[in-house]
Structure 1
């Protein structure tokens, strides 16, 4: 098997698209704070949040599938065993959160008794009756995971910058667009 030195163009696109979507979704979550309770803008914000969340779910599925098919570049031999283990654990946690967040969001929407709508193009009704207590628990888990991904992604970004500016290796550049 050949050694992979960089990610594919599709993997790079998905990496940065998922980054942008996570930030957008987080921003939409706090966008409702600018409007009084009951304002129609709040409903519009949540419809957008759900639609972009479904887009996130589809892109995460694509990203996980590509990772399974294409793999990832090898870690530099200069990295210690502990650094390599930390990188692998960090990526696993990022992927786990990227899967968990939209799954919990879908369940939350359904347990609230709402249908899923993707930008009004199609709607998936809730397959079960609303349950406020379950919805509350799922909302807490969804929020915890959303906050967790910001923390883990921040550590991930700091590690990439450390590799680029301190270690001066290729870790960061192999995920940048245009680098082969």
Structure 2
């Protein structure tokens, strides 16, 4: 694809994933503020799983779409180092976006819980609970979740740099048309 423009579907998926990452992080943070044993913690955990599965589904759609249509080309005004940084940054974002839900699913199952998508369907754990494995996966899941905030923050900073300092169209090509 030689165009530097994103489709409306690509834009929707970009911003939906962004909102879901923030929501999932907020749910986790909110859960940590509640006392152990509070029934609200279980409700937050179920919501976190459901929204995590939604993120996984939207991410799968985005990856398939990218595989079928490719990604828009980078503007010619970008220097070689900027192009390299953009490619590395996108690779890191995709890797973390894939790792986080995979680890979340494994964490849920190793805790002995079933996956439930807003109560519409349930997928039971395919193996016995293992607290030690669950603890390790939880740490990896948390590490990746913190990593995605850092990577997304750098991604946003780069977009804002291009918009306000470079005054090019990097940011505007991902914004909805007004």
Q: Deviations over 1:20-71 (max 9, x none)?
A: 0000000000111332211110000000000000000000100111111122
Matches within 5 A, 1:22-37: 22-37=21-36
Q: CA RMSD in A?
A: 1.0
Structure 1 moving runs of 4+ over 4 Å: none
Alignment of 1:37-76 (within 5 A): 37-76=36-75
- Partner in structure 2 of residue 117 of structure 1: 116
Unaligned runs of 5+ in 1: none
Q: Name the residue aligned to 1:89.
A: 88
Kept after mapping to 1: 8 A contact 2:100/2:141 = yes
The count of residues paired between Structure 1 and Structure 2 equals 178
Instruction: Give the corresponding residue for 2:160.
Output: 161
Report how far residue 79 of structure 1 moved: 1.6
Residue 152 of structure 1 pairs with residue 168 of structure 2: no
Q: Show CA shifts across 1:85-140 (max 9, x none).
A: 11000001000100000000000000000000000010000000001111011000
> What residue ranges of structure 2 are gaps of 5+ in the alignment?
none
- Please report how far the alpha carbon of residue 165 of structure 1 lies from its aligned counterpart in structure 2 after TM superposition: 0.8
Give the Cα–Cα distance (whole angstroms) in 2 for the partners of residues 142 and 33 of structure 1: 15
SS of the residue aligned with 1:91? helix
Q: Residues of 2 paired with 1:104 and 1:34: CA distance?
A: 23
1:170 alignment partner, SS class = coil
The separation in 1 between residues aligned to 2:80 and 2:65, in whole angstroms, is 26
Contact 2:4 2:74 in 1 (8 A): no
- Of stretches 70-79 and 6-15 in structure 1, the one that deviates more from structure 2 is 70-79
**Partner Cα distance (1:87, 1:120) in 2:** 39
Q: Distance in 1 between matches of 2:130 and 2:103?
A: 14
TM-score, length-normalised on structure 2?
0.97
